[in-house]
Amino acid sequence: MRVTRASGRSYPRTKSVVALVGLVLAAGGCQPTFHERYGGAGNDLARFVREAPDGDLMFGGRVGAGDGLLLRTDGAGFERWSRSFGAGGSDGFESALLRSDGGALVAGVEAGNAGDAWLVAVGQDGAEVESLTYPGPALEQVVALAATPDHGVILAGNLLAGTPEGFDHWALLIKLDASYGEEWRQYYGGPDQPGLADVVATQDGGYVFVGSQADGGGSTQAWLVKVDGSGALQWERRFPSTYAAASVVATDDGGFAIGAAAAPGNLGAVLLRTDAHGDEEWRRSYGDPDFNVGEMASTLEGGFAFGGTKDSALHLLVADAAGNRIVETTLDRGSLGYAGADLVQTRDGGFAVVSTCKPPSESNHDLCLAKTDALGRSAPAPG
pLDDT tens readout for residues 216-264 = 787 889 999 999 999 999 999 999 999 999 999 999 999 999 999 998 8
Q: Is 77 part of a structural domain of the chain?
A: yes
Q: Is 62 part of a structural domain of the chain?
A: yes
Q: Is 123 part of a structural domain of the chain?
A: yes
Strand 21-26 versus strand 351-358 pairing type? unpaired
| Whole-angstrom Cα Rg for the chain | 20
Q: How far apart are the first and last CA of the chain?
A: 46
Residue 37 has pLDDT above 80, yes or no: yes
The pair phi, psi for residue 368, each rounded to 5°, is -115, 130
What pTM was computed for the model? 0.91
Q: Is 381 part of a structural domain of the chain?
A: no
Q: Is 325 part of a structural domain of the chain?
A: yes
Any idea which of 105-119, 159-173, 290-304 has the lowest mean pLDDT? 159-173
Range of the domain at 300: 3-372
pLDDT digits (tens, 9 = 90+) for 160-173: 876 555 567 899 99
Residue 2 has pLDDT above 80, yes or no: no
Q: Is 383 part of a structural domain of the chain?
A: no
Paired residues of 257 in beta bridges: 249, 273
Q: Is 380 part of a structural domain of the chain?
A: no
Residue 351's Cβ-count burial label (10 Å; 0-12, 13-18, 19+) is buried
CA distances from 332 to 81, 257, 290, 356 (A): 26, 28, 15, 13
> What CATH number has the domain bearing residue 91?
2.130.10.10
Q: Report the domain count for the chain.
A: 1
Cα-Cα-Cα-Cα dihedral sign, residues 31, 36, 40, 45: positive
CA distance 200 to 205: 10
Q: Is 303 part of a structural domain of the chain?
A: yes
Closest CA to 90 of 70, 106, 71, 108: 108
